[in-house]
Structure 1
């Protein structure tokens, strides 16, 4: 009976070792779970960014206001008969 108990304890110890530190053990499971969580967070951010890009594309395709805004901001375009004023902030004199 004593031999059987020792064999069962050795088997239990081996199984516990494989469960905690072996291949496909709990350490790898926790690491994979963290990777899945991180990837889901990244995917949510990318979905939000893509939705913003799709809204901008739709706005550019359907309305001229967005095209006009982009032309004014990025290219500095002004309409005929329109006066453009640029306000510059006064530079503060440097103290000696």
Structure 2
């Protein structure tokens, strides 16, 4: 002989009715929140695209800098070994001359325009 528990009529039916009525809406809201988080979140789709764009930009900068480094290395080699290159810099940039030579500088405003096709 056990003790019978008394139940209120409809006490267990209330949560089940609530889930039947609003379960689809709650599930839809949860799904919507997850999709929004996956797109706009800290590690979402848009953040991933932005990071990929930055990586491409950095790689392009690295490639450009590597090419510039190679060009500068070649220039350093030429400066160490090519006497004509050294003489050209001494004459053009430093204004030096060999003994017995006279340097005449013409201001750029008085120089004749040069035709790029007529260079030797």
Q: Higher mean Cα deviation, 45-54 or 3-12? A: 3-12
Structure 2 residue 52 is the aligned partner of structure 1 residue 33: yes
Structure 2 residue 86 is the aligned partner of structure 1 residue 72: no
**TM-score, length-scaled by structure 2:** 0.62
Q: Which runs of 5 or more residues in structure 2 are unaligned?
A: 1-19, 112-120
CA-atom RMSD, angstroms? 2.2
Instruction: State the match for 1:93 in structure 2.
Output: none
Residue 86 (structure 1) shift: 2.8
Q: Which one scores higher on RCO, CA 8 angstroms, separation ≥ 6?
A: 1
**How far apart in 1 are the matches of 2:39 and 2:47?**
9
CA deviation string 1:13-59 (max 9, x = no partner): 23202211112001111111121122122212212221221111010
Q: Where do 1:45-60 residues align within 5 Å? A: 45-60=64-79
Please list every run of at least 4 consecutive aligned residues from structure 1 whose deviation after the TM superposition is greater than 3 angstroms: 1-8
Instruction: State the match for 1:94 in structure 2.
Output: none
- SS of aligned partner of 2:41: coil
**How far apart in 2 are the matches of 1:65 and 1:8?**
79
Task: Please point out which of 8, 15, 30 is paired with 2:34.
Answer: 15
- SS of aligned partner of 1:85: coil
**TM-score, length-scaled by structure 1:** 0.74
